[in-house]
Amino acid sequence: MDKVLVVENLHTHFFTENGVVEAVEDVSFHLEKGEMLGLIGESGCGKTTVIQSILRLLEYPGKVMKGKAVMNGIDLLHAPMDQIEKLRWKTISVIPQSAMNALNPVMTVGDQIVEAILLHEEVTKDEAIKRTEYLLEIVGIPKQRRKSYPHEFSGGMKQRVAIAMALACQPQIVISDESTTGLDVLTQAQVIAVIKDLQKKMDLSIILISHDLPMVTAICERVAIMYAGKLVEWATTQQLLNNPQHPYSQGLLAATPDINNLDKVCKSIPGTVPMLIDPPKGCRFQTRCPSVMDKCKQQVPVMRKVQEGHYVSCFLGG
C-alpha cells in the first residue's frame, strides 16, 4: 500500500520556566492511503503535540528538535512555511476539537466553506457554492442549510459543518483531533459514522486522535498507542486486540469494558503518568509496569518489529 505520510524519529520539546518538557520523544509511524489510524493515549501523552509538530502549528515555547514527517516527498518539518501553507487544506487538513471555536458566529456556514475554497483554490464562486452544497449533503446536512448561521445548528450539526469545512479543498489526509469531545454519546457515534463513511467514499487517509479505545478499535484499521510522549505500540487493530505486546496496551485493554463480555471485570492501571520534565531514565512506563526489569530502568527500548505491521517498544519478548 502507498504511504501518504511517514513520520520518523520525531522529538518535540517545550522550553518552560520550570524546565524542558520532553513532550514527544522518538515517535515514528506511517499512514497508508485510505486507512484510518487511531492515535490513542491518556491526556498529556503528546498526541496533539505530534499533530501540531507535523502541521507546523506548534507555538512558543514548543520546538521540534529532531525528526522528519514526509508527505508527497516533502519533509513538512523542514519545508519553507509558504510551501506548508499551500499544503494545508488542499493536501492535509484538520477537523478541530471544538467546532464552536472553528466556526465564525457572524457568517453563514455556507459562506465560511465557500470562503475557505476561494482562499485556497482558483475556482469561480458558483463552483465553490456547488461544492459547498455537495459537502454539506455528504455530511448529512440539507444543502439549503448553507444559509444558516452556526447558532442555528445543534452541537452535532456544527461538528458536521467542521468536517465539511476540513474537506473543502479535497485533502488527501484528514486529522480529527478529538473532534467529538463535548458531544453526547449518541451524537458522537453519528459524527464518527460520518467520518468513517467519508473515509470510504472519498478514499481519505485519516488520523483519528482519541482517548476512547473501544471507539478507535471499532473503526480504525490500525492503532498507535502513546504513553508519556513515546509511541509504545503500533499495530493493526486485530493484532492489538488479539496479541497486545506492551504492558501498557495490555493494561489499557484490561481497563476497557467489552460489549461482548459483560462479565468482564475492568482493572485500572495502578500509579500515575510520570512528569515529562525530567522523565525517568530508561522506559517511561517502568514505574507502572507489572513486568519491570532492571534493564528497563537503564535503557530506552527501541521500537522493534513483532510481525508484519506490528511494532512495540518493550524489552519483554524481544
Ligand X SMILES: Nc1ncnc2c1ncn2[C@@H]1O[C@H](COP(=O)(O)OP(=O)(O)OP(=O)(O)O)[C@@H](O)[C@H]1O
Q: By the criterion CB under 6 A, which residues form the site for ligand X?
A: 14, 16, 21, 23, 41, 43-49, 61-62, 211, 276
What's the rounded Cα separation, in Å, for the pair 25 and 18?
19
What's the rounded Cα separation, in Å, for the pair 150 and 308?
46
Q: Pick between residue 146 and residue 246 the one whose CB is nearest to ligand X.
A: 246
What's the rounded Cα separation, in Å, for the pair 120 and 123?
9
CB of 241 to ligand X, least distance (A): 22
Q: Pick between residue 44 and residue 182 the one whose CB is nearest to ligand X.
A: 44
Which residue in the block uniquely carries the three cell numbers 519533509?
A: 75
Contact 12, 49 (CB under 8 A): yes
DSSP string, 22-90: EEEEEEEEEEETT-EEEEE-STTSSHHHHHHHHTT---TTEEEEEEEEEETTEETTTS-HHHHHHHBTT
Contact 174, 194 (CB under 8 A): no
CB of 121 to ligand X, least distance (A): 31
CB of 41 to ligand X, least distance (A): 6
Amino acid at 132: T
Q: Pick between residue 158 and residue 284 the one whose CB is nearest to ligand X.
A: 284
Q: Pick between residue 60 and residue 267 the one whose CB is nearest to ligand X.
A: 60
CB of 95 to ligand X, least distance (A): 14
CB of 14 to ligand X, least distance (A): 4
Q: Pick between residue 46 and residue 110 the one whose CB is nearest to ligand X.
A: 46
CB of 117 to ligand X, least distance (A): 29
Q: Pick between residue 84 and residue 225 the one whose CB is nearest to ligand X.
A: 225
What's the rounded Cα separation, in Å, for the pair 123 and 115?
11
